């Protein structure tokens, strides 16, 4: 940590503060987006979705963002943002709202968010097999931040340990398949919840890097579903993809918690980076 940073700012740098929204009026919120979640020039899409989810849950009688379908229109920037939650249906089991994140009078992200309430004690009626291969044991994974000394930005907030076999693109040797595996946790000790899951589903480097593409790959649409209340501890991220064509690629991520349960699943469609 940077010893020059004032104590007050240190306290405010936690994930809870970074995703806080202030209710101004019915369905209207304000937030100050945290520059700690910048990747390259823009805020991470998962971080933006966490802020959207905060507003959606605040405006809902339900506790969890079960389904979030987000379209990214413009890069999000650190600083002030407004959120508009337009409730479209409120039901006993689920409620749906259109949530917009606006900066400088322009919509940055639009999302249809359906909230519901999950119970941490519920056991699944049926669960598919765990992904194979698993993420290697933590001790066998690589903390690239430790190598690169880039504690600023996203890597300063999020602690990821990568299956090195899926990171060959870093050394100019992309694996040729869009698989990516890593452990994930927030550096501030915030245990996994609905909001950190939103970050987790968009935290992996673009899987298309493994196919030889380069550079930032802007997400156009990302839908993720929260499937269970995550247990404390590291989250395992399993990324994959099915097709890269016409400059578009898909990326699927499954998030498994420390008790071996599927807690979130996502698919995004993104533009291939331009190097």
Site string for its own copies, 92-121 (x = CB under 8 A): -xx-x-x--------x--xxx-x-x-xx--
Max Cα–Cα distance, the chain, nearest Å? 52
Q: How far is the CB of 199 from its own copies (least distance, A)?
A: 19
Binder among 5, 88, 148, 173 for its own copies (CB under 8 A): 88
Q: What does the DSSP 8-state code read for residue 170?
A: G
227 binds its own copies (CB under 8 A): yes
Distance CA 190, CA 170 (A): 29
C-beta of 14 vs 192, nearer to its own copies: 192
Helix (H, G, I), strand (E, B) or coil at 254: strand
CA–CA dist 228, 259 (Å, integer):
11
255: CB partners within 8 A, 6+ apart: 184, 197, 200, 201, 230, 235, 236, 237, 238, 262, 263, 264, 265, 266
- Beta carbon nearer to its own copies, 141 or 229: 229
**In angstroms, what is the minimal distance from the CB of 125 to its own copies?**
5
Among 75, 221, 258, 273, binds its own copies (CB under 8 A): 221
Residue 74 sits in the site that holds its own copies (CB under 8 A): yes
Residues 6+ apart with CB under 8 A from 273: 206, 208, 209, 213, 214, 215, 216, 217
> Considering the rule CB under 8 A, would residue 45 count as an interface residue with its own copies?
no
Residue with tokens 């998030």: 255
Residue 173 sits in the site that holds its own copies (CB under 8 A): no
Among 69, 84, 170, 231, binds its own copies (CB under 8 A): 69
Given phi > 0 = left and psi -120 to 50 = alpha, else beta, which region is 73?
alpha
What does the binding site for its own copies look like in residue numbers (CB under 8 A)?
66-67, 69, 71, 73-74, 88-89, 93-94, 96, 98, 107, 110-112, 114, 116, 118-119, 122-128, 178, 211, 220-221, 223, 225, 227-228, 241-250, 254, 262, 265, 267, 269, 271-272
């Amino acid at each position: 940590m940077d010893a020059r940073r004032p104590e007050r700012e240190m306290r405010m740098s936690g994930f809870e503060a970074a995703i806080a929204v202030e209710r101004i009026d019915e369905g209207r919120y304000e937030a100050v987006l945290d520059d700690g979640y910048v990747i390259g020039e823009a805020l991470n899409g998962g971080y933006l979705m966490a802020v959207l989810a905060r507003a959606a849950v605040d405006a809902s009688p339900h506790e969890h963002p079960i389904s979030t379908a987000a379209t990214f229109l413009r890069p999000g920037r650190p600083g002030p943002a407004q959120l508009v939650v337009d409730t479209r249906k409120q039901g006993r089991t689920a409620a749906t709202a259109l949530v917009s994140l606006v900066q400088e009078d322009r919509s940055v992200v639009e999302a249809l968010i359906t909230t519901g309430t999950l119970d941490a004690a519920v056991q699944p009626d049926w669960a598919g097999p765990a992904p194979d291969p698993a993420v290697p044991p933590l001790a066998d994974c690589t903390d690239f931040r430790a190598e690169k000394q880039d504690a600023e930005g996203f890597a300063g907030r999020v602690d990821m340990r990568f299956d090195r076999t899926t990171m060959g693109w870093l050394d100019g040797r992309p694996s040729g398949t869009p698989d990516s595996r890593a452990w994930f946790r927030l550096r501030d000790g915030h245990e996994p919840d609905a909001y950190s899951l939103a970050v987790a589903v968009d935290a992996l480097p673009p899987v298309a890097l493994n196919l030889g593409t380069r550079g930032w790959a802007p997400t156009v649409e990302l839908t993720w579903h929260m499937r269970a209340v995550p247990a404390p501890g590291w989250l395992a991220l399993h990324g994959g993809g099915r097709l890269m064509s016409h400059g578009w690629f898909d990326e699927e991520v499954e998030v498994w918690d420390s008790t071996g349960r599927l807690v979130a699943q996502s698919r995004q469609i993104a533009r291939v980076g331009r190097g």
